[in-house]
Structure formats: C-alpha cells, structure tokens
A and B are shown apart, each in its own frame.
Chain A
Amino acid sequence: MSTIVLLLITGLGLGALYFLVASGLSLIYGLMGVLNFAHGSFLTIGAFIGWEVALRLSDGSWWALAAAMLTGAVVGALVAAATEFFLIRRLYNRHIEQVLVTVGLALASVALFEGIWGTDPTYVTSPSWLGQTTEILGARIPNNRFMLIVVAVLVLVSIVLFLKFTRYGLIIRAGVENRLMVTALGIDVRRAFTLVFAIGGAAAGLGGVLASIYYGYVSAHIGGSLLIFAFIVTVIGGLGSLAGAAIASVLVAVLQQFANFYLGGTGDLAVVLALAAVLLLRPRGLLGAKA
C-alpha cells in the first residue's frame, strides 16, 4: 500500500513537470501549428538563470527559491517571445520551416549552454524542507513532490482563468478555433502568437527551476530529455488541448513510475507502447479536436 501511494504521488509530481512543458507546447501548436523543438531550451535557460539568481541572493532559503522561480518564468517568457518575434514570425504559415528553425535553435542553444555552464551537471541547494519526507499512509514521500503538484495546479488554473475571462484569452481561444475568421474581424492575431509563446515560455522556465529541484541538478540537457516526454504527452492528450495535456501528463508519469518499479525499469518503453496504443485506437488523442 505504502509503495503504491509513493509511486502515485511521485508520478503526480513528475506529471506536474510534464504538464508545465506540455501546456506551452500544446497552446503553441493549437494556435499556430508550430511544433516547438526549442521549448526544452526555454526550460533549460530558465533553470540556469533562475539558479544563478538564487546563488547570488542566499543559497537555500525560501526567498531565494521564490526569486529563482520568478526569474526562471520571466527569462523563459522573454526568450520565448524573442524567438517568436525574430525567428518564427518570418516563416508565417510555413510549418515545416518553422519546425526546422526551432530544431536549429535547440541544437545551437544546448551547445551554447554547454559552453557557458560546462557539460557536468550543476548541483542545486533548495530549502531543507524540500529535501525531507512526509509520511502519508505509511509512505515516506519527498516534500518537493507536493510543491511540484501545487505549482502545476496553480499554473493550470491561472492559464484556464486567463483563457476564459480575459480579452486576450478570448482571442487565443477563437484563434485556435478559426484563425482566419479572427483575422477577418480585424484583430491582429500575431500579437496573440507572441503572447502564447511568452506564456508557454514562462511555464517552461518555471518548470526548469522545479525540474532542477526534482532531479537535484541542472544540466544543459535537462530540457531536451523532458521535451520528448512532453511531446508524447501532447500527442496522447490531443494536440492543442490544454485539458488533454493535463490528463495525459498525469497518466504518462504515473504509468512510467509504476512500470519502472514493477516491470524492472521499463518505464520509458511502457510510455512509448502507450503512445502506440493510443494512436492505434484513437489517432487524434484523448481530447483532440480533429484528426
């Protein structure tokens, strides 16, 4: 019983990380049809700069952590908005070229991060409470899992509120439904593009700081490894669906944890098999709008 609780909550924590990456990917794809390979780099740079700030302030306090998270989100948002403005916008409606540009950006940025911060992982110090465990139903659960879950839920709720109750949210939702119609009504959708990139980048940058707490270190490849699972999550959840991404994040991460524990460390393979099964039974994903 205690093992199952532990695996479930750890899975939820990992799912929270996946969601922070996948939410941006899914929104960007839904509105603009861009598959963003550079999303992992937004996460990595958010994590690195976030921790640089935390180190400068005072290592290991809650204030430093909050500053790191805020910085990570802001840096992620700025880098993402700049990417959209300088690279993606020039290739409007040429989806393959847009993917290629983000691929190039991902390759170049990872190399640059390796040049600046080295190839070895940088270990981070977080508040001591996060390193301790709490006992629930006999399971000793690392406290950082709770923080991951809380932050991801907050991000989900705020994105949903933003989409439902603000004017820009309305434009984004309408743009996902029918971009041409929104343009025809005299609304500049391109501003919404930059905004969506910034939101996705902020979630990814925040996710970067949290991922470094989860793993205990930052490295230039932290974003790339999470990105692949985020891709799987977005396909299983249905491209462009935020709710689908949330559900699929949890399902994928929990499945991964259970397969790792009970089936001899085959979590990654189980996830790919799940992806294959979903595609065979329901090619558009769990909550995808169209094939």
Chain B
Amino acid sequence: MSPRQINQAIWARPVTKIAASAALVLLMLLLPLLNISIPGVFPGPTYTPGTLQLLAYAMLIGALALSYHLLFGLAGMLSFGHALFFAAGAYGLGIVLRNFSPSWLPTGATFVVAVLITVLIGFVLAALVGSVSLRVTGISFAMVTLAFAQAGSVVVRRNPGGQTGGEEGLTLDVSHVPDALVGVLNTRNLYWLSLAVLVTVYLVVLWVEKSRAGHVVAATRENELRVRVIGIRPYFVRLLIFSIAGALAALAGAAFLLLQSGVSPRVATPDFTLTLLVIVVLGGVGLRWGAVLGAIVYTLLDQRLTALAGSEFIAGLPDPLRIPLSQPLFILGTLFILVVLFLPGGLAGLTKRSGRPHRPSSRTRERMLEVEEL
C-alpha cells in the first residue's frame, strides 16, 4: 500500500464506523414495527410487548454497563459499588415523583425536572462516595466501594420514612408520568426511550473518553506515577469520572423504574454490581461496544437459561445434571470463569483480535511487572 492509500484507509474507517453505527441504531429504532422472530433468542416476534420489554431491559443494562466501562475500562478503577448509583436513580426518581408536585409546573415539565433532579442526585452521591473511597486505590478502593454499596442496600431495605418500600420495593407513582410511558400497550415507547438512553449514554461516554479528562485517567490507569511526575493530581480527574459514571448510572436507573413501573431492593445489592462486572468482562474490557454486547448477551442468556431451568427436559434429568443446569447463575458464573481464563479480550476480543493495538504477551508482561515490583 502506498502512503496515500494508508492515509485513505485511516480516514475511511471512522466514516464507515459512523455509518454502521447509524444503521444499527436505525434498525433498533424500526424493530418495534417489524415482525422478526428468532426462536430460542427472543420469547416472541419483535413487535410483541414481551420481546420489546426484554430488549429494552437489555439496552438499559447496556447503558449501565457503559457507565461502568468508564470506571473499569477507561479509568481502571475496580468499583464494587456501582449498583448504588443505579439504585439511586431508580429509587430517586420514584421518591421525587411522589413528593415533588409544584402546582405551577405542567405535568410534562414536572416529569422532566424530576428526571433532571434524579440525575443530579446520582452525580452528587457519586461525588460524595468517590471523595472518600478515592483516597485509597486498587484493591482497597474495591472493598470501600463495596462497603458503601452494602450501606446503601441496608438503607433501602430499612425503608426510611416509608419511602423505599423495604423488601417489597417501590411502585411507580404515575400521576406525573406522561401517559405515553405508562402501561403494557406503550411498551413500544418505553423501548424507544431505553434506546434513547443507551445512545445518550454512549455519546456521553464517547465524549468523556475523547476529552482531556478521559486521556488523563487513561494515562493514570496505565502508569499513575508518570502522571504524577508530569504534575497532574489524578484524584480530582478520577473523582470527576466517578461522578459522571454515577450520573449516567442514575439516568439508566430512572429509565429502569419507568420500564419496570417499579423497583425492588435487588438492584441495590452488591451482587448486582458483580453482575455488571461479569457483563463488562464478558463483552470485553476497554471497549465501549463490548460493554453493550456483553449486556445484551448476558440478559438474553439469563432470560433463556431461566426459561430452560423451568422446562420439562431439565426436570427429567438425574440430580447431578439437573441441579447445576437449573441454576442460571451457576452456568453464567462458570462461563464467566472460562472467559477470564481463556478469553482475556471477552466476546469483543474474538472479532477484534487482529485490529487491537499491540500489547505485550502475558509472559513479557509478567516479567515487566516483576521488574516494576523491584
């Protein structure tokens, strides 16, 4: 290839990428109007509420996984408390909608303001939690975020002031929600809303990654000492990324409340964050669309495996086969271990192996790490 051709190839890539992304989004937009059946993957044709609900759920988990990608993939911060902000979004919107009804605002505007307040709550909460937990790094950071998530989970279950509904969870108060977003018949609109949330989160994540702050945290992930030597204090940049990720998770949580017309304390548990971690690693760490792919594969697998677990076929098997196969989490957990051991790039790594930037082989890396320890 001549230099000119190489130049063209470099410039051609983003355009085709943008075109492909646009086509994909367009396809997703049209899906509720089409009649596509994929037996074994979707529970029914794509225009039915059941399938749309599942896809919308997968897309919101995808948006949440993208916000987690900012922390783990971009900044290299292993947080075990990200579910806290998702729960803050879901519970926050529910509580705000119930208590915030100024007479001078029309219903639609009240709803929009409530969503904005919720996202702000996510941002502020993340800034508070981050300001404490970012004082330590690495494994300690993971444990501290886990502790905060646990505290959040305890608060939600305690039902303070009758606001969170305790173990039963919180039901959406629809008096200020636009009619188009309420009811099974409007699942289509909720699907489009979820798609909009996913695209918004994707664009924000893209913007953050390409911004100066994004470059600084990526550099900090690779070598914190060098960043410090240049004269940058990583603390505040990390805190900013942590807060943005919190706000995005809250946005996904708010849409989740609308989609499910309620929320249960399950989304506040540390186990939910672990699921998120599984999704991001399954899809491929460090890649934006890997996080989305992981979320969609995980959600569909989880749904299908649960359906399989209740089937006649499984019930007829002998115990040593029946017990593991009737536990979706057992299969997903085992799959996750296998991916970590044998497929370090995740699902996205399968297709992208040749196109990825050169990374030292594991043996060289090991030696480099040994040297660094000295």
Interface residues of A (CB under 8 A from B): 29, 33, 35, 37, 87, 90-97, 99-101, 103-112, 114-116, 179-180, 224, 228, 231-232, 234-235, 239, 265, 268-269, 271-272, 275-276, 279-280, 283, 291
Contact = CB atoms under 8 A, between A and B. Distances in A.
A268 B132 CA distance: 18
Interface string B357-373: 00000100010011001
B147 to A, nearest CB: 5
Contact of B151 (A90, A101, A265, A272): A272
B277 interface: yes
A235 B140 CA distance: 7
Interface in B147-176: 147-148, 150-151, 154-155, 158
B340 A110 contact: no
Contacts of A87: 337, 341
Most buried by A among B139, B270, B369: B139
Among A90, A107, A224, A269, the most chain B Cβ lie within 10 Å of the Cβ of: A107
Chain A at the B interface: SS class: helix
Contact of B135 (A109, A271, A279): A279
A107 B333 contact: yes
B316 to A, nearest CB: 16
Given A104-B333, A104-B334, A228-B146, A93 B323 contact: no
Given A108-B336, A115-B326, A276-B132, 11 more contacts: A29-B139, A100-B336, A107-B275, A107-B333, A108-B332, A111-B328, A112-B323, A115-B327, A180-B373, A235-B144, A279-B136
B278 interface: yes
A276 B275 CA distance: 25
B143 A100 contact: no
B341 A112 contact: no
A104 B270 CA distance: 14
A138 to B, nearest CB: 31
Contacts of B291: none
A240 B328 CA distance: 35
A108 B341 contact: no
Q: Of B140, B370, B374, which is in contact with the most chain A CB atoms at under 10 Å from its CB?
A: B140
Contacts, number: 129
A84 to B, nearest CB: 14
B277 A100 contact: yes
B323 A279 contact: no
A289 to B, nearest CB: 13
Contact of A111 (B329, B340, B341, B344): B329
20 contacts: A35-B143, A95-B139, A96-B78, A97-B340, A101-B341, A104-B333, A104-B336, A104-B337, A107-B271, A108-B331, A108-B336, A228-B150, A231-B143, A231-B146, A235-B136, A239-B139, A265-B158, A269-B155, A275-B147, A283-B136
Given A100-B281, A108-B333, A90 B341 contact: yes
B340 A112 contact: no
B257 to A, nearest CB: 24
Given A99-B139, A99-B142, A110-B329, A268 B154 contact: yes
Contacts of A90: 341
B324 interface: yes
